[in-house]
Every structure is written in C-alpha cells, then in structure tokens.
Structure 1
C-alpha cells in the first residue's frame, strides 16, 4: 500500500456529522465521554441537552471534578479539550419540549432522559428526528443488579412483553428506532448499578457510531 493510499484512507477517517445527546445524567455523561474519546471518526459535533444541575447525588460528576450547581451539559462541554475544528460540544441547558424541538438537528439522536413518564417526550423527539432524516436510539428499562442480558434491536423486533416499548408503540413509534433494554423496569424493584450503566453506555456508543457511519457512507 502506498503512502498516497494510506493518506487517502486517513483523510476519510475524520470526525463528521453531529450526534445529539438528549439527557446528560449518569448515563448520558458516560456516553458523552465515550464520544469525546473516539479517534479516526466519530461526530464532529455533539449536541448536549439537559436542564438539570449537578447535585450531591451525581457521584460520577463529582469524581470527575464537576462543580455542584452547574448545568450538566456545560460540564460535558468543559471536558471537551479538542480544537473546535476537530470536535466540539454545543451545550443546551434546557429540557426538550414541544417548543424547542427544532434545536435537535443531529444526524443521530440518542435519547437517555429519565424521571417520571418520559415516553411522550421521547416519542415527540423521535418523530421530529425522523422527519429530519435522523437515526434514533433510546432505552426501555435498564434496571438490574448487573448480570442482565442487554438487548438492542429495532422496536419492530420486540414482542409485547415490555410495557415501556408498548407505550412507545401507542405513541406511534413502531419502526426505525433502536431500543436498548435489560428487560428490567422500575416495577421489578431492582437498582440501576454503575457497572450496568458502563455497559449500556458502551453499547449505545458503539451503535450510535455505526448509525453515524451509515449516514455518511
């Protein structure tokens, strides 16, 4: 292989496109850090969305040196030390709702919001993203002690045993949306462990990068 051929391949493997991360909590932060560290590809822009501020319960933020009371997307932006020409984080310190959906412009949209019934909001985000030609990925229960089998596949491939997935279907999301789940939900009275979050974050990162690559191939 000649130097010119190697150079041509290297020039192709540069950051491109945008991944939007809806939710920058314990899981979202892990995904965001993964994306920041991708080399030879990955997103040029990461849009980070969350209206929540860091508090004492956000242990992973504290371990990484975050300042209490600051917005979570701003911390992810601070962690990005790349030159802007290579990769940047654009922070949106607000929750997504019907009035600000247009802020979501990513080629790939990762939805990892939590707290209360988030499914109606997630469905609106997915519909907006699909209308813009974006690929989407989200979760439907990631509870468990840590030895669960993590599944990830299109919503159309799941049976009717997961109520979170069924609620999304009732909102009109029936295909072209990747869902990751341990098949354990809040009803099962099991925790969300940090090591499960690590594995979930890694799986979501890998699949979001594949979706981004497919958009640009």
Structure 2
C-alpha cells in the first residue's frame, strides 16, 4: 500500500502544462535552461519566440556551443536533451506580432523583450494571454551592477516612479501581471551584468513554476 502511494505521488510529479518565452536573448536563454532542468514537475512544453540569430556578441550562447547565425530559439531546442514526449521545446524563429499572436498558447507567458519601444507589443501579448486565462510575467528595467534590490510584484502594487511600469499602465495593463525590476533603467548609465541576469532568471523561473503548479492543480481539480 505504501509503495502504491509513493508510486501515485511519483506519477503526479511529471512535467505538465506550457510556459512560453517571448524573447530568447541573454535573459530568455537563462530562463529557458532553468525551466528545462526543472525536475519532478515544470512545463511539458516550452514555447520559445524570437526572430533573432546569434551573433559574436552573444557570448553566453557561444560559450554553450551555439553557432553564429543560428536562430536563438533553435539553439535552445538543440541543447534540450530530454525526450520530446517528456519535455519539448517548441521553437518559433519569429517575433510575436498581431499576425501570429495566436501561436502564444502558454499557461504562463514570460515576456523578455529588448531593443526599442517594446511596450505596445508587450501589452498586446499580455492582453491576449489574459483573454485566454494565462498568467504573465515581465520586466521593467533590469540594469545594474549586480547588488541591486530586485522587486517582483503585481503591476498594481507599484508606485508611479518606474516609467516602464507607467507605460504599460497607459497601454491598459493595470493588474494581474507580475513585474520584475531592479529599478534601474538605461537612463541610469549602469550595465546589465551576468550576475544580475542570473539572479533575475532565477527569480522569474521560481515564480513561473509556482504559477504553473497552481494552474496545473486547478485544472486537475476542475
């Protein structure tokens, strides 16, 4: 009987559900690797979206064996050695737009967009995810030397001192969206260090896995 109960628990601790990564740059790669290494749970499918190819400046990629000119999402898929029936990386070598937004199907959607004004695009993706009942996590400035206080809380809990948060609010994202920030932006003339990225990736991964567990439990009980 005890062995049966243990087996039942073991059988329930398998990958379930889906997490989508919108952006697989230096931070997205770290989160993707964290998620694929999650044991006794985590997502069965990781949807990866990014239209950018790897260049010589993408040191974290090349250190891990990436080829210059390879799509970043294809590389993430390539380094996942799990059998596909256990954990699958779904590579989308394109940016998310209004034309393909329906490909975003994650129970949890993590937005790590960089370069230019990405707020309008992020807002559209968040609204699409919320319409589907998905949970969302994003960033609002992750600059800093590595000793910053990293905050993560619902967008409704922030004051009005972070311009990225305010821009999202102006686009209609006012609640039910987790935002992580070091409270340092490009204007502050500080770098984005690998130490900061490692810590940010860890915190986002932990929160995404907790949200996924809650969604999986809710679906199992419904």
What TM-score do the two structures reach when normalised by structure 1? 0.99
Residue 216 of structure 1 pairs with residue 196 of structure 2: no
Secondary structure at 2:109 match in 1 = strand
CA distance in 2: counterparts of 1:153 and 1:6, whole angstroms? 36
Structure 1 runs of 4+ with >4 Å offset: none
- The 5 Å alignment of 1:1-217 reads 2-217=2-217
Query: Structure 2: how far apart are the matches of 1:98 and 1:166?
Result: 23
Instruction: Name 2:220's counterpart in structure 1.
Output: none
Gap runs ≥5 in structure 2: 218-222
Distance 1:113 1:163 in 2: 16
Offset of 1:119 from its aligned partner? 0.5
Q: Secondary structure at the match of 1:31?
A: helix
| RMSD, aligned α-carbons | 0.7
Q: Which runs of 5+ in 1 are unaligned?
A: none
Q: 3-state SS of the aligned residue for 1:201?
A: helix
Encode CA deviations 1:10-64: one digit per residue, 9 max, x unaligned: 1111000000000000000000000010000000000000000000000000100
Give the Cα separation in 2 of the matches to 1:162 and 1:142: 12
CA distance in 2 between counterparts of 1:121 and 1:57 reads 25
Alpha-carbon distance in 2 for matches of 1:38, 1:111: 20
Shift of 1:99: 1.0
Give the 3-state SS of the residue equivalent to 1:184 in structure 2: coil
In 1, Cα distance between the equivalents of 2:170 and 2:2? Answer: 55
What's the offset of the Cα at 1:213?
Answer: 0.5
Superposition TM-score, scaled by structure 2 size? 0.97
CA distance in 1, matches of 2:55, 2:202: 24
Q: How many residues align?
A: 217
SS in structure 1 at match of 2:136:
strand
